[in-house]
Amino acid sequence: MLIDVKRFVKGNPSKDEVVRFLLEYVYDESRIDFGKLSSVELVKGHTYQNLAKNPKATLMFFVPPSTSFEVRCGVEIHKSGVYHKYVNSLHDLFHKPEKTRDWSKTPVYIFKIEEIYDNSVGKWGVKIY
């Protein structure tokens, strides 16, 4: 089921309404694929060009002072379809743009997780997935 986030955002919801919406329709564990991450590409710069040539990425997550994770992924670029609509909708839900954005200019990345390493202090590259 795809929720019409555009209509919801146009209603200028309060922060409480957004949280309620997210909990009810988006962050439902029965519908989430924990093997994927997503992001909107807003610039189409070097990251976009690199991933178009080689659809592999390493994402780093760092929480100071000493927690770090490395996530190795295969990457899909979507310019239309369900993923494109869903990820752009979530972006607009969080940022509530004043006017409708041209989504044709913002492809989305779907990162398919292949490996995860704990690079935290004392671990230094322990594979956890």
Position 25 scores a pLDDT of 76
Element (H, E) at 97: none
What dotted CATH number matches 5-127?
2.30.110.10
Q: Are 40 and 106 in contact (CB under 8 A)?
A: yes
Distance CA 48, CA 105 (A): 12
**Distances in whole angstroms, Cα of residue 50 to Cα of each of 24, 34, 44, 47, 119:** 36, 25, 10, 5, 25
**114-to-8, 71, 74, 102, 111 alpha-carbon distances in Å:** 34, 8, 7, 32, 9
How does pLDDT run along the chain (129 residues), one tens digit per residue? 456 666 776 777 777 887 888 787 777 778 788 999 999 999 999 999 999 999 999 999 999 999 999 999 999 999 999 899 889 888 888 777 677 778 889 999 999 999 999 999 999 999 999
Please identify which residue in the block is written with the tokens 């398919």: 112
